[in-house]
């Protein structure tokens, strides 16, 4: 009977999970989990703080309330240079013109704890041209603001350990931009690359949907939030 009991326990012990429908862990960058103790968002300078604080409050609150990891948007200025990991659990936000050299691309540099592969914090650099180039995304102010919000949350998701969940859904051998699972109403994961899978530039009047308007800048309930919760669960599961 003992043998049977042990078999049952082994079969039901949860294992760490690194991808599921609509989300994927950033294991290629060494991030396997999200630590349970608090993280803090700080800023490279006051201009960035003033401009981006409003964009970061909602996703930070989602992580705090809906994932269970306290994520605070602080007033603090942190001058740790990009390329150097900041203090543990600090997420430093920067603004820069075309930080990758490519038009419209923002970038995240996630760090990880070497001891356990948990998300450490890091740097995220948001492209300024979303604001400085007139009608960068579209001629629709609502679309433009939704895309800005999605981008900021998307880069934050990378720091917290989420990769692009894009996959070859149509079987043509290529994992394309925007090729991600979506809900019946067309909502894709905010981590769908690039920028929720929405084109950087959309024709006037065609880019706005009720979905993007309501969901702008939110980690999706269907995909991103379950992924972040699993990353948190992985922290404990990986200690075993
Ligand atoms: Zn990305």
Confidence at residue 136, expressed as pLDDT on a 0 to 100 scale: 84
CA of 153 to the centre of ligand 1 (A): 10
Residue 5 lies in a domain: no
Structure tokens at 143: 């679309």
What percent helix, strand, coil does the chain show, rounded to 5? 35, 20, 50
Angle ∠(54,25,233) on CA atoms, nearest 5: 85
Confidence at residue 63, expressed as pLDDT on a 0 to 100 scale: 98
Q: What's the first-to-final CA gap in the chain, in angstroms?
A: 25
Residue 52 lies in a domain: yes
CA of 120 to the centre of ligand 1 (A): 18
CA of 240 to the centre of ligand 1 (A): 31
CATH number at residue 26: 3.40.390.10
Residue 13 lies in a domain: no
Residue 129 lies in a domain: yes
CA of 157 to the centre of ligand 1 (A): 8
Q: What does the alpha-carbon distance between residue 153 and residue 17 come to, in Å, rounded to a whole number? A: 22
Q: What confidence category does residue 185 fall into, taking pLDDT thresholds of 50, 70 and 90?
A: confident
Distance of CA 229 to the CA centre of its chain: 13
Q: What confidence category does residue 11 fall into, taking pLDDT thresholds of 50, 70 and 90?
A: low
Q: What is the pLDDT of residues 30-70, one digit of tens each?
A: 999 999 999 999 999 999 999 999 999 999 999 999 999 99
For the chain, how many structural domains are there in total? 1
CA of 103 to the centre of ligand 1 (A): 14
Q: What is the pLDDT of residues 131-180, one digit of tens each?
A: 999 888 888 888 888 889 999 999 999 999 999 999 999 999 999 999 99
Mean pLDDT across the chain: 90
- Host domain of residue 218: 20-237
Residue 7 lies in a domain: no
Q: What does the alpha-carbon distance between residue 240 and residue 233 come to, in Å, rounded to a whole number? A: 12
CA of 195 to the centre of ligand 1 (A): 7
Q: What confidence category does residue 184 fall into, taking pLDDT thresholds of 50, 70 and 90?
A: confident
pTM here is: 0.91
CA of 17 to the centre of ligand 1 (A): 20
Q: What does the alpha-carbon distance between residue 108 and residue 61 come to, in Å, rounded to a whole number? A: 20
CA of 161 to the centre of ligand 1 (A): 11
Length of the chain: 240
CA of 154 to the centre of ligand 1 (A): 6
């Amino acid at each position: 009977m003992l043998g049977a009991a042990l078999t049952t326990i082994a079969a039901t012990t949860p294992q760490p999970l690194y991808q599921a429908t609509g989300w994927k862990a950033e294991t290629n960058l060494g991030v396997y989990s999200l630590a349970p103790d608090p993280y803090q968002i700080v800023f490279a300078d006051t201009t960035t703080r003033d401009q981006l604080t409003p964009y970061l409050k909602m996703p930070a609150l989602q992580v705090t309330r809906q994932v269970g990891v306290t994520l605070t948007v602080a007033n603090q200025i942190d001058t740790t240079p990009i390329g150097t990991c900041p203090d543990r659990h600090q997420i430093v936000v920067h603004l820069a013109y075309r930080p990758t050299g490519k038009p419209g691309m923002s970038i995240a540099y996630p760090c990880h704890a070497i001891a356990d592969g948990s998300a450490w914090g890091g740097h995220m650099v948001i492209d300024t041209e979303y604001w400085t180039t007139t009608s960068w995304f579209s001629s629709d102010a609502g679309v433009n603001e939704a895309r800005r919000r999605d981008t900021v949350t998307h880069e934050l998701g990378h720091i917290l350990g989420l990769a692009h969940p894009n996959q070859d859904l149509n079987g043509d051998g290529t994992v394309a931009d925007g090729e991600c699972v979506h809900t019946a109403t067309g909502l894709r994961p905010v981590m769908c690359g690039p920028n929720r899978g929405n084109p950087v530039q959309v024709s006037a009047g065609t880019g706005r949907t009720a979905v993007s308007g309501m969901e702008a800048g939110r980690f999706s309930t269907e995909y991103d939030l379950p992924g972040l919760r699993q990353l948190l669960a992985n922290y404990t599961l990986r200690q075993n």
